[in-house]
Amino acid sequence: MAVSFIKSSKKKEEDDWISISDMMAVLMVVFLFIAIVYMQQVLEQSKIIEVIESKIYKSLNEEFKEDFEDWNAILERKNLTISFQEPDVYFETGSCIPKERFIIILDSFLPRYLNVLKKYKTEIEEIRIEGHTSSRYEAAESLDEAYIKNMDLSQCRTREVLSYLLQHPGTQINKSWSKDKITANGLSSSKIIINQETGLEDEAKSKRVNFRVKAFNNQFEDWKNFIEEFGIKTNEN
């Protein structure tokens, strides 16, 4: 009788474990299905993003391709950034106030820039004015002090450019939609440019002012990066 009871208990325990295992297997399948569906949505969204970014790039390039050389500026396809790379022309050393030469460039650039982006305003998440410096700051006594002083300087410069943009007569027609998207971002020396030949900082190129378009919602970016780590391409290249 006791032996029969023990066997019955063991069988019940085995049945319970089988039931739990089956339940876990079902849950794993459900989770996998949900993950696949969501990943497919991310892939589709990424393709849409690629198309939007490509259109914005082509529009910006078409508008400014004749000006880049004169302005010493470049348009980067990867992150839709127009980078002005002649700091001595734009600001006095240690100053936030734009030089006359930079004012002339901004007078031409700002109204046309917003006019180009206007057609994509529903797809644009943010328009970033980014100020970058080299790691050097003459009056600083340490690298940390140089970083903080350059942070203050880069933030001050981007605020000045943003202020000029908002007050410029040529940008008023686009102010209603662009004001909530444009931000001023001083980045100090956090993104210096490295000379590929020497492996050292290129101080001249590290000093720059960028206008960058973020054309999608970042909630998809982490998933996009995760997917690409596993070799799944999110574009049609």
pLDDT of residue 75: 97
Whether the predicted pLDDT of 234 surpasses 50: no
- Tell me the CATH number for domain 45-222: 3.30.1330.60
From residue 192, give the alpha-carbon distance in Å to each of 81, 102, 152: 15, 22, 16
**Cα–Cα distance between 131 and 151 in angstroms, integer?**
9
pLDDT digits (tens, 9 = 90+) for 85-108: 887 788 888 889 999 999 999 999
pLDDT of residue 232: 47
Reported as a pLDDT band with limits 50, 70 and 90, residue 154 is: very high
DSSP letter for each residue of 104-159: HHHHHHHHHHHHHHHTTTTT--EEEEEEE--S--TT-SSHHHHHHHHHHHHHHHHH
Helices (H), 65-85: 68-71
Sign of CA dihedral 97, 146, 195, 183: negative
Q: To the nearest whole number, what is the mean pLDDT of the chain?
A: 82
pLDDT of residue 41: 62
163-170 long-range contacts, CB within 8 A, separation 24+: 164/98, 164/103, 164/106, 164/110, 165/106, 165/110, 165/129, 168/106, 168/107, 168/110, 168/111, 170/107, 170/110, 170/111
Q: Are the beta carbons of 132 and 210 closer than 8 angstroms?
A: yes
Is the pTM of the predicted complex or chain greater than 0.95? no
Whether the predicted pLDDT of 175 surpasses 60: yes
- Residue partners of 77: CB distance under 8 A and separation at least 6: 57
Whether the predicted pLDDT of 151 surpasses 80: yes
What would the mean pLDDT of 53-58 be, rounded to a whole number? 94
Reported as a pLDDT band with limits 50, 70 and 90, residue 40 is: low
**Cα–Cα distance between 69 and 233 in angstroms, integer?**
34
Mean pLDDT check: name the lowest of 34-48, 118-132, 169-183, 209-223: 34-48
**Cα–Cα distance between 129 and 8 in angstroms, integer?**
74
**138 or 237: which leads in pLDDT:** 138
Q: Are the beta carbons of 113 and 81 closer than 8 angstroms?
A: no
**Cα–Cα distance between 151 and 170 in angstroms, integer?**
30
- Range ranked top by mean pLDDT from 55-64, 90-99, 208-217: 55-64
| Per-domain boundaries in the chain | 45-222
pLDDT of residue 226: 53
Q: Provide, rounded to the nearest whole percent, the portion of the chain with pLDDT above 90.
A: 50
